[in-house]
């Protein structure tokens, strides 16, 4: 029996993880659950899974959550960053699933590592912001960090059993999102509803917009750099519209190993939680005769300039990826609120990066300061554009 703390229990990754817990009650229990503001949804999960700790964004949501729970339920209700840290370091947890959205996942994940918890990581922003710090602490504490992003899980699986065999390159696949064939001159007219209509994957709003801009793939490039200790020049992005090959690894002899499956996050989540065992999930294998053809394209950086920004920020290193991530979070929120056009996402992130004075990024205080600076700068640029 493995006990899990799920950071981000009401989001797409969290809800899929809890489906796996339901399917395998003899293998998994729930130690802690967190949400942001969805108190009612979290209350239902608390009643069902009986965690020891539940955390929400602030004191008001904590009070709301308490009113929704039976009085005799034995669960500690906590809130804010301290509350998330308590959930991440819950003594009963064997593994922590990091599925919070954005920069909010960094501090709880570091706390879990420091507490000696194994990590199943879906929150790519943790490594984008502070990859050097995170990976150093993973090594120092001797914990296991399992990738839960489908692409990084695929890379991890493609490396299994390869021993000392040298990698030539990592190939990250991307569907290309809903605008792979749309005319670039029409991008200003893209609405949030159109950008949220992903052709293959069902995900949360923020990551779906990132997939439409290909910023998500750029963040995954930076994540892969840290997870697999691979130079940026040896990480390639390949557009694969069918989303059947989740990523590939090329070895020194030219052999390419790929991991394939239907586009469903439960496979990667289950593998991250149960490694090295594969659980008998109720997922079909790809129907290759029906699919017929798997196609691949080079990414068009004129159409998807955010991907180029991510490569540049990753290669620059230090606090540049932190700034990239923070500015992107702000502009995506502004786009979803109707305060910024789709093309403004790239433009504001680019301007924010150009104004940043890079620091080494080896100190957590530097990372947090760069994150705050980038958000304020991006908000200011957004306000100026609104005028």
Query: What is the C-alpha separation between 245 and 261, in angstroms, rounded?
Result: 7
Closest by CA to 150, choosing from 298, 54, 16, 57, is 16
Averaged pLDDT, 113-121: 97
Last residue of a domain, one of 279, 307, 335: 307
Instruction: Tell me, yes or no, whether 312 lies in a domain.
Output: no
Q: What is the pLDDT of residue 179?
A: 87
Query: What is the C-alpha separation between 115 and 179, in angstroms, rounded?
Result: 43
User: Do 121 and 171 share a domain, yes or no?
Assistant: no
User: Do 179 and 281 share a domain, yes or no?
Assistant: yes
User: Do 201 and 298 share a domain, yes or no?
Assistant: yes
DSSP annotation of 165:
P
Averaged pLDDT, 109-124: 96
User: Do 223 and 177 share a domain, yes or no?
Assistant: yes
Averaged pLDDT, 136-144: 97
Q: What is the pLDDT of residue 202?
A: 67
**And the tokens for 176?**
């290309």
CATH of the domain at 335: 1.10.1740.10
Long-range CB contact pairs, 290-295, < 8 A, 24+: 291/242, 291/244, 293/242, 294/240, 294/242, 294/244, 294/245, 295/240, 295/241, 295/242
Residue-number span of the structural domain to which 185 is assigned: 150-307
Query: What is the C-alpha separation between 352 and 35, in angstroms, rounded?
Result: 30
Query: What is the C-alpha separation between 36 and 378, in angstroms, rounded?
Result: 23
Q: What is the pLDDT of residues 179-213, one digit of tens each?
A: 888 888 889 889 999 988 877 666 778 889 999 99
pLDDT top residue among 200 and 99: 99
User: Do 104 and 215 share a domain, yes or no?
Assistant: no
Closest by CA to 155, choosing from 252, 242, 235, is 235
Lowest mean pLDDT across 29-33, 185-189, 241-245, 275-279: 185-189
CATH of the domain at 100: 3.40.50.720
pLDDT top residue among 27 and 161: 27
Instruction: Tell me, yes or no, whether 181 lies in a domain.
Output: yes
**And the tokens for 84?**
């998330």
At residue 240, the 3 state secondary structure works out as coil
Residue given tokens 């957004």 in the structure block: 382
Provide the percentage of residues in the chain whose pLDDT is more than 70.
Answer: 98
User: Do 77 and 11 share a domain, yes or no?
Assistant: yes
Query: What is the C-alpha separation between 99 and 64, in angstroms, rounded?
Result: 23
User: Do 246 and 221 share a domain, yes or no?
Assistant: yes
Averaged pLDDT, 3-20: 96
Q: What is the pLDDT of residues 68-84, one digit of tens each?
A: 999 889 999 999 999 99
Q: What is the pLDDT of residues 315-365, one digit of tens each?
A: 999 999 999 999 999 999 999 999 999 999 999 999 999 999 999 988 999
Q: What is the pLDDT of residues 47-59, one digit of tens each?
A: 999 999 999 999 9
User: Do 154 and 143 share a domain, yes or no?
Assistant: no
Q: What is the pLDDT of residue 331?
A: 97
DSSP string of 348-375, one letter each residue = HHHHHHHH-------SHHHHHHHHHHHH
Task: Tell whether the model's pLDDT for residue 108 goes beyond 80.
Answer: yes
Instruction: Tell me, yes or no, whether 207 lies in a domain.
Output: yes
User: Do 130 and 182 share a domain, yes or no?
Assistant: no
User: Do 34 and 75 share a domain, yes or no?
Assistant: yes
pLDDT top residue among 384 and 89: 89
Query: What is the C-alpha separation between 11 and 106, in angstroms, rounded?
Result: 17
Averaged pLDDT, 369-378: 97
Q: What is the pLDDT of residues 145-164, one digit of tens each?
A: 999 999 999 999 999 888 87
Task: Tell whether the model's pLDDT for residue 85 goes beyond 90.
Answer: yes
User: Do 288 and 256 share a domain, yes or no?
Assistant: yes
- Counting the structural domains of the chain, the total is 3
Residue 220 confidence class, pLDDT cut points 50, 70, 90? very high
């Amino acid at each position: 029996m493995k006990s899990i703390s799920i950071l981000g229990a009401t989001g797409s990754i969290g809800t899929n993880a809890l489906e796996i817990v339901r399917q395998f009650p003899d293998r998994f229990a729930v130690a802690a659950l967190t949400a942001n503001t969805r108190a009612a949804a979290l209350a239902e999960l608390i009643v069902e899974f009986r965690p020891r700790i539940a955390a929400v964004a602030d004191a008001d949501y904590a009070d709301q959550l308490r009113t929704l729970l039976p009085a005799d339920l034995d669960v500690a209700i906590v809130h804010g960053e301290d509350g998330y840290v308590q959930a991440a370091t819950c003594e009963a947890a064997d593994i922590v699933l990091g599925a919070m959205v954005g920069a909010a996942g960094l501090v709880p994940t570091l706390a879990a590592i420091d507490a000696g918890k194994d990590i199943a990581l879906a929150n790519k922003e943790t490594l984008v912001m502070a990859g050097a710090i995170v990976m150093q602490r993973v090594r120092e504490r001797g914990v296991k960090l399992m990738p839960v992003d489908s692409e990084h899980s695929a890379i991890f699986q493609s490396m299994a059993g390869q021993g000392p065999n040298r990698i030539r390159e990592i190939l990250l696949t991307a569907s290309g999102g809903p605008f792979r064939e749309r005319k670039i001159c029409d991008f200003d007219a893209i609405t949030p509803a159109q950008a949220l209509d992903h052709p293959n994957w069902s995900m949360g709003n923020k990551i779906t917009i990132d997939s439409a801009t290909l910023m998500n793939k750029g963040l995954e490039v930076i994540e892969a750099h840290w997870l697999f200790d691979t130079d940026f020049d040896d990480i390639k992005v390949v557009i694969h519209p069918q989303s059947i090959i989740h990523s590939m690894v090329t070895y020194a002899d030219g052999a390419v190993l790929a991991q394939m499956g239907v586009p469903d996050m439960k496979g990667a989540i289950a593998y991250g939680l149960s490694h090295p065992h594969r659980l008998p999930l109720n997922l079909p294998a790809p129907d290759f005769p029906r699919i017929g053809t798997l196609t691949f394209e080079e990414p068009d950086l004129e159409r998807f300039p955010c991907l180029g920004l991510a490569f540049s920020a990753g290669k620059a290193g230090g606090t540049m990826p932190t700034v990239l991530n923070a500015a992107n979070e702000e502009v995506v929120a502004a786009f979803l609120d109707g305060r910024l056009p789709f093309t403004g996402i790239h433009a504001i992130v680019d301007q924010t990066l150009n104004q940043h004075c890079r620091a080494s990024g080896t100190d957590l205080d530097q990372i947090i300061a760069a994150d705050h600076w980038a958000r304020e700068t991006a908000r200011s640029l957004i306000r100026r554009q609104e005028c």
